[in-house]
Amino acid sequence: MADGILVKGLRAWFGDTRVLRGIDATMAPREVTAIIGPSGCGKSTFVRCINRMHEVVPGARVEGQILVEGHDVYRDDVDPVQVRRRIGMVFQRPNPFPTMTVFDNVAAGLRLGGVRDRARLSEAVERALEQAALFDEVKDVLDRPGSSLSGGQQQRLCIARALAVQPEVLLMDEPCSALDPMATARIEELILELKRDLTVVIVTHNMQQAARVSESTGFFLLGELVEFGQTRAMFTNPRDKRTENYITGRFG
Amino acid sequence: MNPRRRRLVNRLMSTLSAVAAVATILPLLLIFAFLLYQGASAINIDFFTRLPKPVGEVGGGMANAIVGSIILVGLAAVLGVPLGVLTGVYLAESRDSRLPWTARFLADVLNGVPSIVIGLFVYALLVLPMRRFSALAGAAALAMIMLPIVARTSEEMVRLVPASLREAALALGLPQWKVVLRVVLPTARAGIVTGVMVALARVAGETAPLLFTAFGNRFWHQGMDQPIAALPLQIFAYAIAPYDDWHRQAWAGALVLIVLVFLVSLTARLATRRRVGAMR
């Protein structure tokens, strides 16, 4: 059975507006796939379909098939809550829970999933913070509010929070767009570390970023996946005229 | 417009709005000063520790009414706060299109129902079937007044919780109910607490809904199914009586009531300020 993420004939709507028009793509396991395209092209919707977050918006609808590690996340008997446990997500703006400490933010997924054992929790929190390259910076302030950290630290805290439940896939929806270049560089380093253990899909407006971190890239335009393939090939020798126009900055 | 005229208009408007602000708080200051002037002489240890004296005797206190008011408001909070907060969460979180709209509209109507009508309603609902006035009936009437206030402020506070936090929690694999219970409600807590305090302060001074429900009592609290004393009722009874000493005590009772409401509001303010500080 195919590993990674396999998308077949994915279509999505907001009410009567069609935002994805039949997407087919394969994202290899333990690789980084970048999703690029102008605003409103459906790239956020695409990643939100993978962990069934699209349907959270009232009136939103999805058709098609998405296999994650061989399991169809849209089969009738699949619980979206279970899907989201296996697929972590990081958002555009850092969104740590403001009423929780640094520790509690990272422990949130496990604790709310029923883990009570204190030793197991601290172990998992430490591991997730290490993985998110944040542990050394916050190990003395674990009991301070998560919102007291800097923006870049908050975003890595959110990454640690997603990693703590040991997901197979990590979705990142423009994770650096609210961060300064230094913080962005740290997150990019981190992404290169993370792909040893998980499959990463990252939406980005920044084409240099896509070129730096990803093996494959998908270019979305008006709800269609115009081109999908090896990142290097796409940036040096795009097959589609529209891709070429976009990556050379002729529009968007 | 020339600069001189602009400066003049600016000064005029600043003064006007400052005068308006003073005029707004002036009544409260006047009430407080007047109550102090009229009632301070009747405030003493006896007032807080003794029962009312029989008609015609001088002295005694309103201890039973103070305790009664605290019991009534406390019981009203026990009845009204959980129901109100849950209603607020429902109004804010429900995706249904019809029922929340209707419930919100009716809550606003309930908020506008005169309190004496609520008192009469509870009289028909509880007092007549039980064949007696009771603390329970009084608390039920107060709870009914609290409900729409608590529900609507809770709704507003739950709505203020950023969507990004809900998404973060959902994406973490939490079921909807846990998202609300563990992330949304704690984030909205400070605002909800303020709403509850405002509602408590409001019902602490209600008199009309207690007339046909709690009824009043000249003795200590005797059980939830018995009539109970309350400060507003006692003030009312003493104010319309023909004795100077009772009049003084009524003023003192009003003073105590205002101070209690003031303390509740102050607690709400301080509690919220601390929460906001911690969130930064």
Domain encompassing residue B35: 3-42
- Identify whether A17 is part of a domain: yes
Same domain, B34 and B91: no
The answer to whether position A142 is within a domain reads: no
Taking an 8 Å cut-off on Cβ atoms, the answer to whether B182 and A95 are in contact is: no
Question: Do residues A169 and A5 touch, judged by C-beta distance below 8 A?
Answer: yes
Domain shared by B90 and B115, yes or no: yes
The reply to whether B35 and B83 lie within a common domain is: no
Residue B168 — φ and ψ, nearest 5°? Answer: -60, -45
Asked whether residue B65 falls in the same domain as residue B7, the answer is no
Give the pair of three-digit tokens for residue B91.
Answer: 């109004």
Tokens representing B143? Answer: 């709870």
User: Is-contact A27 A216, C-beta < 8 A?
Assistant: yes
Q: In chain A, how many domains are there?
A: 1
Do B130 and B209 lie in one domain? The reply is: yes
Do B63 and B109 lie in one domain? The reply is: yes
pLDDT of B200 higher than 60: yes
What average pLDDT does the segment A170-190 reach? Answer: 91
Do the domain assignments include residue A189? yes
Query: Domain for residue A158, yes or no?
Result: no
pTM of the model: 0.81
Enumerate the residues of chain B whose CB falls inside 8 A of the CB of residue A58: 95
| Nearest-neighbour CA in chain A from B172: distance (Å) | 6
| Tokens at A212, concatenated | 């730096």
Judged by CB atoms closer than 8 Å, whether chains meet at B173 and A82 is answered as yes
Structure tokens at B117: 């009508």
Q: B22 and B65 share a domain?
A: no
Question: Nearest by CB to A89, which of B162, B171, B278?
Answer: B171
**Are the Cβ atoms of A99 and B189 closer than 8 angstroms?**
yes
Task: Please report whether residue A116 resides in a domain.
Answer: no
The shortest CB-CB distance from A112 to any of B165, B174, B278 is to B174
Question: Do B105 and B147 belong together in one domain?
Answer: yes
Residue A51's domain spans which residues? 5-98+167-247
What pLDDT shows up at residue B131? 92
Residues B269 and B151 both lie in one domain: yes
pLDDT tens by residue, A88-139: 999 999 999 999 999 999 999 998 778 889 999 999 999 999 989 899 999 9
Domain co-membership, B37 together with B63: no
Taking only the tens place, the pLDDT of each residue in A158-175 is: 999 999 999 999 999 999
| Residue B42 pLDDT grade (very low, low, confident, very high; cuts 50, 70, 90) | confident
Long-range contacts of B104-107 (CB under 8 A, 24+ apart): B104/B152, B104/B155, B107/B147, B107/B148, B107/B151, B107/B152
- Selected residues 49-88 of chain B with any CB under 8 Å from a CB in chain A: none
Backbone dihedral angles phi then psi of residue B217, each to the nearest 5 degrees: -160, 140
Rg (C-alpha) for chain B, rounded Å, is: 23
B170 and B211, same domain (yes or no)? yes
Q: Between chains, do A162 and B280 touch, taking CB under 8 Å as contact?
A: no
**Residue A171 lies inside a defined structural domain of this protein:** yes
Which residues share a beta bridge with B226?
Answer: none
Of A24 and B268, more confident:
A24
CATH code of the domain covering residue B221 = 1.10.3720.10
Please say whether the dihedral angle defined by the alpha carbons of residues B241, B243, B245 and B247, taken in this order, is positive or negative: positive
* Cβ contact, residue pair A88, B279, below 8 Å: no
Is A236 among the domain residues?
yes
User: CA A237 to CA A241: how far, in whole Å?
Assistant: 10
User: Tell me, what CATH number does A69's domain have?
Assistant: 3.40.50.300
Q: Has residue A127 been placed in a domain?
A: no
The predicted-structure confidence for A188-246, as pLDDT tens digits, reads as follows 999 999 999 899 999 999 999 999 999 999 999 999 999 999 999 999 999 999 999 99
The pairing of strands A224-230 and A5-14 is unpaired
Looking at the structure, do residues B34 and B69 belong to the same domain, yes or no?
A: no
B 146-185 → A contacts, CB under 8 A: 162, 164-165, 167-175, 178, 182-183
Q: Do B280 and A95 touch (CB under 8 A)?
A: no
Q: How far apart are CA A62 and CA B13, in angstroms?
A: 57
DSSP state of B237: H
